[in-house]
Chains A and B, each alone.
Chain A
Amino acid sequence: MTLVSILGFALVAIGLWGVLTQRHLVKIIVGFSIVDTGVHLVIVSLGYLKGRTAPIIDHALAAGDAASKAVDPIPSALVLTAIVIGLAVTALLLAFAVRVFREKKTLNIDAISELKW
């Protein structure tokens, strides 16, 4: 729905602002994580139809009226995969941050400006 889309984009904007203005590497990674959450909110909100229920066939939803009473199941499936991959990428980013700190003893990105050490 519209409110959740606007919320998602606001989260993307705030996360992007965090990535652009912060100096500490871990804060930048927190910003990335916020951008991820915002994008997922936008995608799931695009699949919502007013007044419908979850796409699971049980006593609340018969198999016959799934097409007229269920929410779109495809964005849910996409976002499920995306959330897991988001965690994997965050873990990889943090491993890089720890490694950079091990070598350079600082996490201020103004001091880490070369591509190799």
Chain B
Amino acid sequence: MTLVLLIALAVMMLGAAVFAVITRELMAAVLASGMIGLLASVIYLVLAAPDVAMTEAAIGSGLTTVVFLLALRRIKQLGGSDHD
């Protein structure tokens, strides 16, 4: 049962990672990296590490995405583009 769950999570994570690298939209790449953090937090829970799961959920998929989006907003304001 956990094996099926882990394989599903692994496939989703690898798909999101490849998508984050390949896509040309910056916003999509940032959100994909946030989703990787969220899936990693579930994997940490399966690996019996609840402290790490809490930290990864808060930081990896919360604050990192916000920091990226703030920087992107500034770049767009200064006249940059949000495509590659």
Residues of A in contact with B (beta carbons under 8 Å apart): 1, 3-4, 7, 10-11, 14-15, 17-18, 21-24, 26-27, 29-31, 33-34, 37, 40-41, 44-45, 47-48, 52-56, 71, 75-76, 79-80, 83-84, 86-87, 90-91, 94-95, 97-98, 101-102, 105, 107
Report how many A-B pairs have Cβ atoms within 8 Å. 135
Is there an interface contact between A3 and B40, defined as CB atoms closer than 8 Å? no
Query: Binding site of A, secondary structure by majority: helix, strand, loop or mixed?
Result: helix
Alpha-carbon distance between A45 and B79 when the two chains are bound, in angstroms: 43
Q: State how many angstroms separate the Cβ of B49 from the closest Cβ of chain A.
A: 5
Residues A30 and B78 in contact, CB atoms below 8 Å apart: no
Classify the secondary structure of B's interface with A: helix
Contact call A107/B64, Cβ cutoff below 8 A: no
How far does the Cβ of A30 sit from chain B's closest Cβ, in whole Å?
5
Q: B68 touches which one: A22, A26, A83, A107 (CB < 8 A)? A: A26
Task: Give the residues in chain B near A87, CB-CB below 8 Å.
Answer: 59-60, 63-64, 67
How far is A55 from B40 in the complex, measured between Cα atoms in Å? 19
Q: Give the docked Cα–Cα distance between A33 and B10 (Å).
A: 17
